[in-house]
Structure 1
Amino acid sequence: MSQDPRILVDASSFLYRAFHALPDLRAPDQLPTGAIFGVANMLRRLLKDYPGDEIIVVFDAPGGTFRDRLYPQYKAQRPAMPEDLRAQVPLLHEWIEASGLPLLLVPDVEADDVIGTLARQAAPGQEVIIVTGDKDMAQLVNDHVTLLDTMKGVKTDVAGVWERYGVAPEHIADLLALTGDKVDNIPGVPGAGPKTAAKWIQQYGNLEGVLAHADAIGGKIGEALRASLDYLPLSLDLTTIRCNLDLPVRSWRRSSENIPKLRSLAMRLGFHAWLKEYPAEAGAEQGGLDITGDAVNGLPPIERSGYRAITTPAELEKLVQKLQQAPLVALDTETTDLDPLNADLVGISCAWQEAEQVESVYIPVGHRDGSPQLALDHVLATLRPWLENPKAAKLAQNAKYDWRVFWRYGIHPAGLCRDTLLESYVLDSSQNNHDLDTLAERHLQHQNITYEEVAGKGKSARNFADVPVAEALPYAAEDADVCWRVDAQLWPRFAPEPGLQRVLMEIEMPLVLVLARMEQAGVRVDREQLAVLSQELGRDMAACEAKAFASAGQSFNLGSPKQIQEILFDKMQLPVLKKTPGGQPSTSEEVLAQLAVQAELPRLILEYRGMAKLKNTYADALPEMINPQTGRVHTHYQQAVAATGRLSSSAPNLQNIPVRTEQGRRIRQAFVAESGFCLLSADYSQIELRIMAHLSRDTRLLQAFAEGQDIHAATAAEVFNLAPEAVDSDARRAAKAINFGLIYGQTAYGLAQQLGIEQSAARAYMDRYFERYPGVLAYMEQTRNLARQQGYVETLFGRRLYVPEIRSSNAARRSYAERAAINAPMQGTAADLIKKAMIAVDAWLQEDPARGRMILQVHDELILEVPESGLEAARAALKERMEGVAELAVPLLVGVGVGAHWDAAHG
């Protein structure tokens, strides 16, 4: 039986590589976690690939080494470990030890020396794999020792060392001594690169041979070699890995994993996806943590066995009494469909605090397994007084869905006070997920029963109505229980944050039912018009394809990036402007737009892609989305997706319909008003520039808006030193690009690309802009500094936007975060303004439902469907409420349009 290989992990090299390569990941408490995630993930893969092997993890020990005594300048120029990385090291060590892996930090030597010694100590004939990205380790390779770079997926043996370096492994230290190492500050022969050094070693055997024949090497490189003779032996000493350390010879087999500790660390660090691999111990739902979210609230852990099903009239009556007495109840529904327009109620869950514990019950009403359950009509009639009581405080997770389900049955719940989805989002919008399962893990260290565990997935999935009551009970009751407990964790965090509390209670919570009404209303689309457009797009796509084939000189698949790469870059030899993460030439829209200046084919591919998107996403898809009951399309609005606070929509996504092309406008023309109604569109004018004027208080910007000037023409006059009457359309277009480009943190390079000018000219434009608008420059610098100090920026209304990578050691990520920090307060404030406007307009509409209904929101635009008889009153009310929603240092201006379809109203 062959012996398992010994795996030696050069963890220090991977620590830095992971820190610089990965995004600035953060734990729930904002502790940086990117390096931990990268190294731990690499080790997790190793453990799967080598489950029974010796895996020894080696780090550099803190403090100096013997090499510093040999050469005080050794690594002297290296900066200190970044604080964000230093903070991660102890927790990474905890993770490694909990994984059962031997962890070594040996003082006065480097990890390389420890690894070299352990490699030599391996049993005779035992394979050794050194996991590293460090070229120095190549000197350890032999017939039994190989290198593995897991980040690149490259394995290096003796032949690989020869191929890469041109010398045998035993001469790598000689090679490094001759070339020197700028990173480690090891002096070499000036001007001697790896090829030159390898040639010398091949000719003279090793460094000693090279030194002995130094006089035979001519030219300037020979002079440089002879000038280096005194210190090259020291360089060799520094580059040589010690393989004779006095390390204990013992078994290095891994020990058992400490599952509770790994689970605790995964939750502490926010690595929620790994929790399924670290299940909680039986009877310990909190995963072995010393302090749980429930314990903080004085609540006992979740106990699913305590959940009850309400199946008799007497139990229901008793439940209603408890609900009426409870100061706060979490409410949840189980249904047959994700679309509330089609969802039949299957059950209702409620949770509340009673004494020192949370009570949670489930009322089944629509299960098909024959289990005892109450009639739906009886349950709704009994619950109606409590559900519709505005003084009975309720909370939910994604209440918009549950409320719309109740509306379907003629019940209009009142008393919604909080939504855990929105609480989480307002506290930290940079988190990727705010679903209940994620919130349970993040804040309660509890793993919910998943929907798939109950209903199955794929071909074996069943409707929730087909799940037996006994199986549905713990899942459904847990949702309400967890919702109540998550709120108990999150709501107290708003008390010391009045700005965030205002955003939650004055913007996000009132908006829930506004969006619910908009989704319920939907919008009519013209099926016939879309069919005609689909046919036209199909013909235009075929014509465009034929032109592309002619331009390329061959037929190809216009939807295949690989074939496009071959034609553009191999056949046509167009320049490769950007590469994909996999190293292939990019054919992104941005790249094709730049290449279109040089050749016709990239332009044709762009046109084809644009038409294909319109056809597939809208012309063909929209008719399929028409609800057969209402005859309208009902988009879904998400409040908790965009970090800036912007709303997003899906099924269909209305945010991405192009408006600058004729075909894009044709899509909008298919959104039509009902007979006897018209569409009323109101759009904030230059809202982000007005917000910039307010935030920066720049004198010239304030004056331009106060006087009602065309801001782009005014900017053109300032930047290009023109009289106002001399500003033509080209100058205005360039000024518009500058105005909006600066808001989005555009660089001189980006502006040059957009305007088709030299980068130096773009830089000059930007410099002149800041000379004329110094308040904008000051605001930008103040915002960067504030973001660096506190890690976040805020909107005018208190919404917080975290930018942790503004402290990143990676220059590109830091620069991106700085741009985001400047833009976020403007984009976020614009989002807050449109949301506040929606609340105000909806309140006016609810005073008299005959006034019409709000049906769409896209970016800074609201669309109402109003009766033709009430058009003028609606126009005035809409404009008044949108312009009066906040008082800025410059006036808010709203343009209002009317039409039979969206494009006419918007235009």
Structure 2
Amino acid sequence: MADKQHLYLVDGSSYIFRAYHRLPPLTDPEGTPVGAVYGYTTMLWKLADDLDKAEGPTHLAVILDKGSTSFRNEIYPEYKANRPDPPEDLVPQFPLIRDATRAFSLPCIEEAGLEADDLIASYAREATRKGWDVTIVSSDKDLMQLVGQCAEPDDGVAEGGCIDMLDTMKNVRIGPDEVIEKFGVPPELVGDVLALMGDSVDNIPGIYGIGPKTASKLIVEHGGLTAALDAAPDMKKSKLKERLLEGREMAELSRVLVQLKEDCALPMALDEFKLVTIPPDPLAAFLSKHGFTSLLRRLDSGSGSPTRATDLNPAKPVTKGADGSPDGNRQPLPDLPAVDRSAYECVQTAERLEHWIARAFAAGLVAVDTETSALDAMRADLAGISLALGANDACYIPLAHGGSDMFAERPEQVARETALAMLRPLLESDAVLKVGQNIKYDLNVVARHGIAMAPVDDTMIVSFALDAGRSLDGIGGGHGMDELSQRHLGHTTLTFKDICGTGKKAIPFGEVPLDRATEYAAEDADVTWRLHCLLKPRLAAEGGTRVYERVDRPLIPVVAQMERHGIRVDKAQLGKLSDEFATETGRLEGEIHEIAGTQFTIGSPRQLGDVLFDKMGYKGGRKGKSGQYSTDQAMLEKLSAQGAEIADKVLEWRQLTKLKSTYTDALQAAINPDTGRVHTSYSLVGAQTGRLSSTDPNLQNIPIRTEIGRQIRDAFVAEEGNVLLAADYSQIELRLAAHMADVPELKQAFANGEDIHARTATEMFGEVTRDTRARAKTINFAILYGISRWGLGARLKVEPDEAQAMIDTYFQRFPGIQRYIVHTLEQVRERGYSETLFGRKTWFPRIGSKNQGERQGSERAAINAPIQGTSADIIKRAMVRMMPALDAAGLGHVRMLLQVHDELVFELPEADIAAAKPVIERVMAEAALPSVTLDVPLGIEIGTGLSWGQAH
């Protein structure tokens, strides 16, 4: 035990709400909401682990709020009156959070009529008088009043203890300097600043119009609240003087409200907070009861029980072979040891590199990761490569480390070209599976050095094939390495920021010292290897092999090659469009200001809301929690339907400014100086239904049917002597709906090549006119998205009752669609996921949510997911088959450049159009075969031109 006692007081109430808002809904095996409980448990676990690795407390307790009222409500009944009731699904979790604390065998302190802050202050004062140091685990600004204060010791105590804080969100200690940086005053004056500025969250009034900067300035100038208020009568006439004079009473009341009560009766003696051995059984029972399997696995994986409250990650044996034999690790270990970064090797000589390459060949499987200078694979310089052959059996091969200065000392490392020449046979060998996390990036990096890495597996995409949309154990539903590591391994990885820093102090990875670079880079490969061990076997067990092996995995090198090809854009045309958009937005700004009768910032939602609803008096405005009116697209469209001309102008202004910033400006900046082309980045896990998404730049949101959208597409051009060819699936989702819902009328219409929207208009309205066809088209697509009567009414600009009548008529004419919707929702509620025709699962954990908005949103998505997901699977299959088919036709020089929704864009010599079109059309039309035989034909529309706009 340390000579001096150190008490940690955990502000458990702040943990609860952080956990609730950080994690999606989650239920335990009994159906009880436990998302916040899980988050709270992991946060408490991490705190204990971090403290054990640091100095470690001698005493620790968790302090919670007992209820929603305290003695402050007697002083000021409106105290915390603005706070909404806790969310419905959080209420039953409060007692479980107490259970979680006690499962760790930690004291859980709460007292009726007192807030957690008061108990924390009282315990802190008592402990410091006994000579103990105290750390308050919180970021609560009210508690910062205590920071840095040291107590006079009691009799018999040599010296008093002092108080600091620990912000676990930012992982920083808060001492007096940090408080001064935040408030501009030392801790003992924080209460005075809070009294002036008030607190809208706790409904502490303060003085209206005085913010934190003004409050801090006043307290610094006058030395305290009373002095600042006393000085007000002698100030020059100003708004500030008026506010101080008028608000004195409220400020003095606020000072009482923010004052922490430091003399509470202590419900439990300090000595009872002493950290002792954790009995593992209560914790294991709690984790098991609520289905927290990853934490239970983490608890069980150690040799023996934890010996103290913070020893939650006991040391585990290292499995790396001491003899360095080339046997590798052919089989996944059933019980993976804890990550040990000290076990990694930095490979700095050709001899050691040869050793690792030999072992990788023997293993037949190696996890690979590249470290680079940038996120853009087409511009990044390769700094190093890491390999892993087993748990803790990993290395980092630095290739370009050293200072940027030509005179800077460079560490010993194998020359990059030499190392890559040695690695090429391994990376290109068909006998060795290369496993990566988002390996498409690594494929493109090494491809720029002439290496065609294959075959590959991708843990990110395996995870997506298994768990798209699903949050496991409450740790979110993403598929990035950090999240997967936390979810499946219970391990927190080093981050790039940890190694390279942030902001102006950030350094390139190539300048990171080799010991730290090795820890970070080799850990990435190690964690990837572990994830592959755990996730890949699940594919067969959970029915994910088919979609992964036949759709997703073969697509990885195809998409990587498309990214490397890129597409040429006409910079001059983009510049011209940017200028035109700037002129047009300027004109619209003038018209909007003229209609409003005032100048304001159109891009400011707050100012726009004030103009629309306060100044101009439009009805229907609604304010959010921030106190500002909503001015989203739905609200503006609602105002437009009421005849508000200004709403139409704002919508047009928003579209133009977005297109200018997102496309005409951004595309010019995105041109790669080495290739002269734009290289978008595709994500295979970016859309829950399986659709590809693109970023940097995002090509998915260019308006399809507008003249402006066509102008932007016109800027995507072919190289001289070539043309662009655009091949688009025609109404594929409606065709799939006809098949999947078994709608005879629609299947017959597609088989006959009819205009499907005209056929629907005939069925719905008895005639085909321009208006009825347009309405039928809207209804056709809207129904497949599970649209409500209000949603359809808004789109068609009719009353909800009329929209409901249309929905009813549609279901009467096409009862198969209604049966499909009902059956799909029943299946999703029963199984938790939807499924495409190719077996792709999409999970909907909120389908049974008590929150109506969440539940209905999940239902709408669940109705569409099988259709949109099957459409995505089909075009992916077409992309995988496309280049082999073109090669076989002697058209290997045709390049596939883009995939946008249901469309593929190619570049080819004009002379090859006639030969390429039937190949492309056949591959796309037969993409579902032989796995799925559709009852309707897949229609393909093909166009060509010198630009994408002409071809589209």
Q: TM-score range by the shorter chain?
A: 0.7 to 0.9
CA contact (8 A) 2:60 2:275 kept: no
Distance in 2, Cα, partners of 1:851 & 1:493 = 39
Query: Which amino acid in structure 2 is aligned with residue 34 of structure 1?
Result: G
Q: Is 1:860 aligned to residue 902 of structure 2?
A: yes
Structure 2 length normalisation: TM-score? Answer: 0.70
Distance 1:410 1:571, change over 3 A: same
Q: Within 5 A, what are the aligned runs for 1:284-299?
A: 287-288=312-313, 297-299=334-336
Aligned residue in 2 for 1:890: 936
Distance in 2, Cα, partners of 1:466 & 1:339 = 19
| Secondary structure, counterpart of 1:425 in structure 2 | helix
Distance in 2, Cα, partners of 1:449 & 1:42 = 17
Q: Is 1:412 aligned to residue 452 of structure 2?
A: yes
Q: Is 1:115 aligned to residue 121 of structure 2?
A: no
1:413 CA displacement: 1.5
Aligned residue in 1 for 2:430: 390
Q: Pick the aligned partner of 1:566 from 585, 592, 610.
A: 610
1:298 CA displacement: 3.1
Q: Pick the aligned partner of 2:805 from 756, 764, 767.
A: 764
Distance in 2, Cα, partners of 1:458 & 1:281 = 39
Which segment drifts farther, 700-709 or 686-695?
700-709
- Unpaired segments of 5 or more residues in structure 2? 1-6, 49-58, 69-86, 125-197, 206-264, 296-304, 320-331, 403-408, 470-475
CA contact (8 A) 1:851 1:870 kept: no
CA contact (8 A) 1:40 1:96 kept: no
1:885 CA displacement: 0.5
Aligned residue in 1 for 2:100: 94
Distance in 1, Cα, partners of 2:693 & 2:362 = 38
| Secondary structure, counterpart of 1:668 in structure 2 | helix
Distance 1:686 1:151, change over 3 A: farther
Q: Deviations over 1:2-44 (max 9, x none)?
A: xx9x999999xx99x9999985246999985334368889999
CA contact (8 A) 2:736 2:867 kept: yes
| Secondary structure, counterpart of 2:628 in structure 1 | coil
Q: Is 1:795 aligned to residue 841 of structure 2?
A: no
| Secondary structure, counterpart of 2:846 in structure 1 | helix
Q: Within 5 A, what are the aligned runs for 1:273-288?
A: 287-288=312-313
Q: Deviations over 1:771-825 (max 9, x none)?
A: 1111111111111111111111111111111112111122232222211111111
Query: Which amino acid in structure 2 is aligned with residue 373 of structure 1?
Result: Q
Aligned residue in 1 for 2:663: 618
Distance 1:896 1:772, change over 3 A: same
CA contact (8 A) 1:541 1:611 kept: yes
Distance in 2, Cα, partners of 1:758 & 1:391 = 65
Structure 1 length normalisation: TM-score? Answer: 0.74
Aligned residue in 2 for 1:309: 346
Distance 1:804 1:558, change over 3 A: same
Q: Pick the aligned partner of 1:594 from 638, 656, 664.
A: 638
Q: Is 1:422 aligned to residue 468 of structure 2?
A: no
1:487 CA displacement: 0.5
Distance 1:42 1:475, change over 3 A: closer
Distance in 2, Cα, partners of 1:791 & 1:290 = 38
Q: Is 1:504 aligned to residue 548 of structure 2?
A: yes
Distance in 1, Cα, partners of 2:670 & 2:815 = 50
Distance in 1, Cα, partners of 2:537 & 2:11 = 48
CA contact (8 A) 1:336 1:463 kept: yes
Q: Pick the aligned partner of 1:328 from 352, 365, 390.
A: 365
CA contact (8 A) 1:267 1:445 kept: no
Aligned residue in 1 for 2:252: none
Q: Is 1:532 aligned to residue 580 of structure 2?
A: no
Q: Deviations over 1:651-697 (max 9, x none)?
A: 11101111232222111110011111111111111111111111111
CA contact (8 A) 1:97 1:103 kept: no
Q: Pick the aligned partner of 2:743 from 669, 680, 698.
A: 698
Q: Within 5 A, what are the aligned runs for 1:184-199?
A: none
CA contact (8 A) 1:807 1:814 kept: yes
Which segment drifts farther, 340-349 or 82-91?
82-91
1:494 CA displacement: 1.2
| Secondary structure, counterpart of 2:507 in structure 1 | coil
- Unpaired segments of 5 or more residues in structure 1? 61-80, 105-113, 128-149, 158-246, 272-279
Q: Is 1:361 aligned to residue 395 of structure 2?
A: yes
Distance in 2, Cα, partners of 1:867 & 1:29 = 63
Distance in 1, Cα, partners of 2:899 & 2:477 = 23
Distance 1:380 1:644, change over 3 A: same
CA contact (8 A) 1:310 1:364 kept: yes
| Secondary structure, counterpart of 1:568 in structure 2 | helix
Q: Deviations over 1:861-881 (max 9, x none)?
A: 110111111111111111110
CA contact (8 A) 2:345 2:395 kept: yes
Q: Pick the aligned partner of 1:344 from 377, 381, 385.
A: 381
Distance in 1, Cα, partners of 2:948 & 2:31 = 44
Distance 1:581 1:710, change over 3 A: farther
Q: Is 1:436 aligned to residue 481 of structure 2?
A: yes
CA contact (8 A) 2:33 2:89 kept: no
Distance 1:372 1:529, change over 3 A: same
% identical aligned pairs: 41
| Secondary structure, counterpart of 2:385 in structure 1 | strand
Q: Pick the aligned partner of 2:653 from 608, 612, 621.
A: 608
Distance 1:905 1:56, change over 3 A: closer
Query: Which amino acid in structure 2 is aligned with residue 24 of structure 1?
Result: P
CA contact (8 A) 1:299 1:358 kept: no
Q: Pick the aligned partner of 2:823 from 782, 793, 797.
A: 782
Q: Within 5 A, what are the aligned runs for 1:821-900?
A: 821-846=862-887, 850-886=892-928, 887-900=933-946
CA contact (8 A) 2:486 2:492 kept: yes
Query: Which amino acid in structure 2 is aligned with residue 115 of structure 1?
Result: A
Q: Deviations over 1:284-312 (max 9, x none)?
A: 99953899999972333322222112222
Distance in 2, Cα, partners of 1:638 & 1:631 = 23
| Secondary structure, counterpart of 1:608 in structure 2 | helix
Distance in 1, Cα, partners of 2:266 & 2:497 = 50
Which segment drifts farther, 738-747 or 370-379?
370-379
Distance in 2, Cα, partners of 1:766 & 1:372 = 72
1:269 CA displacement: 8.4
1:615 CA displacement: 1.3
1:507 CA displacement: 1.1
Distance 1:770 1:736, change over 3 A: same
Distance 1:258 1:791, change over 3 A: farther
Distance 1:301 1:249, change over 3 A: closer
Distance in 1, Cα, partners of 2:418 & 2:779 = 64
1:52 CA displacement: 10
1:526 CA displacement: 0.5
Q: Within 5 A, what are the aligned runs for 1:464-863?
A: 464-498=509-543, 500-597=544-641, 598-720=643-765, 722=766, 726-846=767-887, 850-863=892-905
Which segment drifts farther, 853-862 or 594-603?
594-603
Aligned residue in 1 for 2:35: 34
Distance in 2, Cα, partners of 1:744 & 1:865 = 34
Aligned residue in 1 for 2:76: none
Q: Deviations over 1:555-593 (max 9, x none)?
A: 221111122112110111111354434242211111111
Which segment drifts farther, 586-595 or 338-347?
338-347
Query: Which amino acid in structure 2 is aligned with residue 557 of structure 1?
Result: T
| Secondary structure, counterpart of 1:798 in structure 2 | coil
Equivalenced residue count is: 737
Q: CA RMSD in A?
A: 4.3
Query: Which amino acid in structure 2 is aligned with residue 516 of structure 1?
Result: A
Distance in 2, Cα, partners of 1:760 & 1:489 = 52
1:328 CA displacement: 1.0
| Secondary structure, counterpart of 1:851 in structure 2 | coil
Distance in 1, Cα, partners of 2:528 & 2:749 = 50
1:402 CA displacement: 0.9
